[in-house]
């Protein structure tokens, strides 16, 4: 007599991982002609290397089970820090490659395909635990996943080409246009597959998912969650972080 088929083993609830691509060189952050001593994510902002602010925000989110920082091969920054974060020197030539390599590392350390991963730029050091929680709340029951993003606040122009470069070619409709931010949150298995299919030029995780015919959820982020990209962004990031650290002045009765 054959034994009855065994009941399928129920999947354990998905966990939430954070993956921080931190392997860039910050070429646009270097002022024309000036050489930066360290990549932008390690430059001091409001008393700490920029990436430490980013990591502190994720460390405050209780639902994040584990966090992996992806740095460039040979980068020894975290060897000189007494920080509790897991670090993998598996950064690639592009951001997409750094993320794909980091996902591989997460799998090797026990992550499963149905776990969630929140990918977040090291250079978005102003993200807050509340914004991270808002993304998780909005996406954890979603079939695809999603990203923080901001509706376009300004009038949108396209630039001419050739002899018309530097001049407006057209004013484009901005309704329904959003600026993609991070974190971007997807199932680890799905994202890994999407990045394998996608070309290296995809500039965010959502684009790789979209290329599979799926539609990531847009979750409203904040203008303060900007990416430090150009030299002038450092002073703005510092001002915002310092304003958060300052004790609020009480208003006299
Ligand atoms: N090969 C790369 C390129 C970028 N990043 C990371 O991806 C994030 C967003 O990228 P971006 O702001 O473009 O950083 P850089 O590539 O360093 O900047 P630039 O393009 O100006 O050189 C950054 O935290 C950066 O460290 C990465 O992990 N691996
Ligand atoms: C992922 C990202 O921050 C979303 O806006 C952005 O696409 C990164 O682009 P970059 O050219 O690598 O800075």
Tell me: ipTM over 0.90.
yes
Condensed to tens digits (0 to 9), the pLDDT of residues 41-55 reads: 999 999 999 999 999
Condensed to tens digits (0 to 9), the pLDDT of residues 205-246 reads: 999 999 999 999 999 999 999 999 999 999 999 999 999 987
pLDDT, residue 201, reads: 83
Q: Which residue do the tokens 């530097």 mark?
A: 166
Residue 227 in contact with ligand 1 by CB distance below 6 A: yes
Distance CA 226, CA 181 (A): 7
The CATH architecture one would assign to domain 16-149+179-245 is Alpha-Beta Complex (3.90)
Q: 123, 125, 205, 228: which to mutate for ligand 1, most atoms within 8 A of CB?
A: 123
Distance CA 90, CA 199 (A): 19
Strands (E), 165-237: 168-172, 178-187, 217-220
Q: 19, 22, 23, 24: which to mutate for ligand 1, most atoms within 8 A of CB?
A: 24
Distance CA 28, CA 229 (A): 6
Domain ranges in the chain are 16-149+179-245
- Residue 117 CA to ligand 1 center (angstroms) comes to 18
The residues, any chain, with a CB within 8 Å of residue 174's CB and separated by 6 or more, are 152, 154, 155, 156
pLDDT, residue 199, reads: 79
pLDDT, residue 3, reads: 61
Give SS3 for 172.
strand
162: left (phi over 0), alpha (psi -120 to 50) or beta: left
């Amino acid at each position: 007599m054959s034994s009855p088929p065994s009941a399928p083993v129920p999947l354990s609830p998905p966990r939430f991982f954070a993956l921080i691509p931190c392997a860039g060189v910050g070429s646009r952050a270097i002022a024309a002609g000036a050489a930066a001593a360290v990549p932008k994510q390690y430059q001091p902002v409001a008393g700490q290397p920029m990436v430490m602010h980013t990591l502190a925000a994720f460390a405050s989110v209780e639902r994040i089970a584990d966090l992996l920082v992806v740095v460039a091969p040979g980068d020894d920054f975290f060897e000189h820090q007494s920080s509790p974060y897991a670090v993998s020197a598996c950064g690639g030539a592009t951001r997409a490659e750094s993320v794909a390599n980091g996902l591989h590392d997460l799998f090797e350390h026990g992550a499963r395909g149905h776990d969630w991963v929140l990918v977040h730029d090291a250079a978005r050091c102003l993200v807050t635990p509340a914004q991270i929680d808002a993304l998780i709340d909005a996406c954890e029951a979603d079939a695809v996943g999603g990203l923080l993003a901001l509706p376009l606040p300004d009038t949108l122009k396209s630039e001419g080409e050739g002899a018309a470069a530097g001049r407006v070619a057209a004013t484009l409709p901005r309704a329904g246009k959003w600026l993609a931010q991070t974190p971007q949150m997807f199932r680890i298995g799905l994202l890994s597959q999407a990045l394998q299919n996608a070309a290296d030029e995809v500039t965010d995780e959502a684009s790789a998912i979209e290329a599979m015919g799926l539609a990531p959820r847009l979750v409203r982020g904040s203008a303060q969650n900007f990416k430090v990209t150009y030299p002038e962004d450092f002073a703005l990031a510092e001002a915002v972080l310092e304003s958060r650290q300052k004790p609020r002045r009480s208003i006299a009765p």
